[in-house]
Amino acid sequence: MRLSRYFLPVLKETPREAQIVSHRYMLQAGMIKQASAGIYSWLPLGFKVLRKIENIVHQEQERAGHIAIQMPTIQSADLWRESGRYDAYGEEMLRIKDRGGREMLFTPTAEELVTDIFRAHVTSYKDLPLTLYQIQWKFRDEVRPRFGVMRGREFYMKDGYNFDLTKEDALHAYNRHLVSYLRTYERMGLQAIPMRADSGPIGGDDTHEFLVLAETGESEVFYDSQITDLKFGDRQIDYDDHAACAAVLDEFTSRYARTDETHDEALFNEIPEERRRTARGIEVGQIFYFGTKYSDAMGAVVDDGKGGKVPVHMGSHGIGVSRLLGAIIEASHDDKGIIWPEGVTPFHCGIINLKQGDAEADAACLSLYDSLTALGLEPLYDDRDERAGTKFGTMDMIGLPWRITVGPRGLKNGVVELTCRRTGESEELPPADAVAKIATIYQGIA
Ligand code: 5CA
């Protein structure tokens, strides 16, 4: 993309309404625009990152054997009456009437609707296990929407639902989700720690939240510092292997890590003092096992192969897709702007032309642009007729991990400058070598 033809409404002034850095940078970098409290339009740069995150989530869900569907945002109140949640959900649920006076609602989550799909089409244990998921907009009329996309009223969520014949199979689905979530967050450059949590309006006893440690996080968390040494890395886990998934769960959840809702001071104090940590975290996902809560209430049963009919065991599993943009920025920025991890960056590399209109500089930039594009990479070429300082400022704010700077002086010596946004380190090298280096960096990522 050439910046002169793009739509990147970078703000010159610091937006005053933003209390935390991710919200400020998302506004300043022209990624989002507030439409009303807790509701945002996604401008091109923000939308691009949202799509990258969404793609990673899809890829990891498919890898785990889960099947994508899409359910409507507007649902009938009657379905929610069957589970009893229409009344129980309270003011967080946005209730709407259609022209015929029928009660509808904007989905805050979708246990009821997915259970309705299941009961209409699945009758036999032979069709299990089954996990259906979607990535869809949700609405929760939060009392205090704040921090931009971090606590929105409208937000983008991956929600997945497993249907299993037995509790044991459903617990495997829970473990499988935990494993897939660890992979998902690591691909985004994040460490998200599974912590024992409270289940709230979703219900059930078994639940873990995934938290990214950050000073600006809304949750207070307590954990054993050893947990931050754990990395999932590039392990190849067979998602059908119950024991392998259970082993990962054990490894990642056996040390103390809890949100304030489930914190147990006595247990915490059993950890050696130098390993006890109290911090704040951003909840980027949550997994639940709730057994037959919805299948009992809504009659989602299958024949068990022994002549009987049994309600299916279920769980639901969410990832805060839009919130993740905020979480990634909180975890990865400096005082000049965002620093995108390679896995989610909106463009792979920036190209800055220090002397727009200089025939040689223009040609070198276009040639870099073409070479990168031919390799399947997406560069952002700042071809505006602006001062170098303005171009560097924009590039630093929008946070592309790599930048190639092209100027007449370097070109005389046959070199361009390649700069790493994270470390600030630069090296001069021939254009072809810069392209080769960027290609290597993104191998297996882009
Ligand atoms: N039905 C379950 C699992 S699909 C569910 O709704 N879980 S949840 O309530 O924990 O939401 C899943 C994730 O969505 C949360 O972990 C969080 O990352 C994100 N989320 C929840 N509320 C908001 C909000 N108001 N703004 C942005 N993200 C949110």
Ligand 1 centroid – CA 283 distance (Å): 8
Alpha helices for 278-387 (secondary structure H): 293-298, 321-331, 359-374
297-327 pLDDT, tens digit per residue, is 999 999 999 999 999 999 999 999 999 999 9
Q: What is the mean pLDDT of the chain?
A: 96
131 pLDDT exceeds 80? yes
Domains of the chain, first to last:
3-337 (3.30.930.10), 347-442 (3.40.50.800)
Ligand 1 closest atom vs CA 288: 3
204 pLDDT exceeds 80? no
Q: Which single residue is written with the structure tokens 């790493």? A: 420
Ligand 1 centroid – CA 109 distance (Å): 8
CB burial class (10 A; 0-12, 13-18, 19+) of residue 199?
A: middle
Q: Ligand 1: which of 26, 53, 144, 286 to mutate, judged by most atoms within 8 Å of the beta carbon?
A: 286
What is this structure's pTM? 0.97
Whether residue 221 contacts residue 259, with contact meaning beta carbons closer than 8 Å, is answered with: yes
- Pocket of ligand 1, beta carbon within 6 A: 109, 140, 142, 151-152, 155, 157, 159, 202, 283-286, 316-318, 320, 322-323
More confident residue, 17 or 112: 112
203 pLDDT exceeds 80? no
Give the residue whose CA is nearest to atom 19 of ligand 1: 320
Ligand 1 centroid – CA 345 distance (Å): 23
Mean per-residue pLDDT for 31-45? 98
Mean per-residue pLDDT for 256-280? 96
- Please give the structure tokens belonging to residue 157: 């969520």
Give 202's pLDDT tier (boundaries 50, 70, 90). Answer: confident
Ligand 1 centroid – CA 337 distance (Å): 27
